[in-house]
Structure 1
Amino acid sequence: MERSRIAVAGASGLIGSALVRSLAADGHEVVRLVRRTPRGPDEVRWDPARQHVDASGLAGCDVVVNLAGAGVGDRRWTPEYKRLIRDSRVLGTAALAEAVVSLPRPPRVFLNGSAIGFYGETGDRVVDEGAPPGDGFLPGLCVEWEEAAAPVEEAGVRTVFLRTGLVVARGGGAWGRLFPLFRAGLGGRLGDGRQYWSYIALHDEVAAIRHLMDGEELAGPFNLTAPQPLTNREITAAMGRELHRPTAFAVPAPVLRAALGELAGDVLGSQRVVPKRLLESGFRFAFPGIDEAIRAAE
């Protein structure tokens, strides 16, 4: 892709910060959306809760990437925090969509965050982008999140939904919590360990986003997960192998439910999601296997 002006919401998060570094390293002009007073021309003020974006700061952007949202696993799911999780995504996306369609020259592509939580509990069943949404809080959230970008699609801007799985990285997300536990010898399976986890190395997550950014014919939902989901038991064994630590500990399901509340359903749930459309588009993973994904995160 030629040097472009690219706006990123959620630029300080795990994925956003890695994406910004990658884009800047290749000479792209990156504009970060911030909630405070901008400190320079590379920042744009926005307030997703109030659905406000300084649209003038998006002028001239070829690409807008929305990765903003409160962390799903950061706190126990109280009614108040569930509202924050929803509003930070749905209201933020709606605000960005309104700003994008108001521009005299809209960007050529809008990439909006989403998650494999869209599919809900899938058990042993393999699902791709053609599967319908599941039931529950996360599937409902993902549906609203994607629907909030409808004005951009209707305006004729190519729109991509990034249905991301569990990102293997040290700096945040679920794996950011797993690494210290396993290094301390406290790692182990969660529940019975039979639930499928659909993961992706952070390097591949960023590469996939950039691949979708560049592909002029690529639109709609794409699963950003490694080609072969594994069970929690298999991933636990891999963490032990790669970090050279025992994995004898196991956290029983009742303990997880007591500690995490409703969030435990997401931890214990099974999602066997595959990136069918991403592979069909020609994307090639650098770290498709769990062992190499863990090593890449080291």
Structure 2
Amino acid sequence: MVKITDVARHAGVSPSTVSYVLSGKRSISEETIRRVRESIRELGYRPHAGARALASSRSNVLALVIPLRTGIHVPVVMRFAVSVVTSARRHDHDVLLLTQEEGEEGVRRVADSALVDAVIVMDVQLHDERLPMLRALDRPAVLIGFPDDTAGLTCIDLDFRAAGEACVDHLAALGHRRVGLIGSPPEVYERGTGYAERTAEGFLAAAARQGVAATVHPCEATGEAARELVKRLLDEHPDLTGVVVHNEPIVEPVVAAFRAAGRRVPGDLSVVAMCPDEQAEHAELQLTSVAIPAEEVGRRAVDLLMAKLDGDDVPPATLLPPRLTERASTAPA
């Protein structure tokens, strides 16, 4: 491993001079700075994190506020988290995880202590209580999710309203005239979580535009709840021929429940899932789906944050268009 003494020897200066170039604490001639930097590049020297922080007045750490509470499907959350961590490392930054329960106090604590350079916030509500604090924060922030009022914020996410519309448009094009949305757990809607609300809005808007009868049904993320809801849907809407499931843990239990009730999928009933591609592709019956692009959202959130740290202008809103992939779970009505 290349050491600071190796760089000093290669550049013909003292180790302390190399340290001063890295930290910027003393005035060094341009010629000496050039020689030291060339030696660093040629030898492949990687400064210690402390030296980098001194040189840039940064901690080289990002905070990621992740939602670990009821109604949240942790495996999907962790896809976002892994993407953020991986992308941050490409920018030579580490990531400090904060849980949703720490809330505004947790973000303020790490920001006031200079532990982190910037913040990424997940699980954004339409009327999120953290917004005034985030707008006043003296650290750059990026939200994965959209509140109702985005003024003064930088937000990125899948366009969930357009995703809900795409699901209905796909089913309507296949001739389905009665569809249902099996949505997130009730507490997710009660909190006013943006992605759930906007999916339902898009679903209902497209149904009205297409002249399709449609209903929205929150559902707990358990197999028993899925079976009970399927029974109720078939009792109340025997003409139901299309279902959209936006609740990752119960996608396959929903399909199994319809089959157990005598409905062939997709012969009698078509199913569209909103879930990661991997889940849709590896289900027992490959599912037509709108992908949840966790990896891309996480990567682009970090890119936005690094641009903000560098003083660059970034778009206040980034909505990723939905991508629907047709597989074996949908067919003409």
Q: Given the two structures, how large is their TM-score scaled by the length of structure 2?
A: 0.36
Q: Given the two structures, how large is their TM-score scaled by the length of structure 1?
A: 0.39
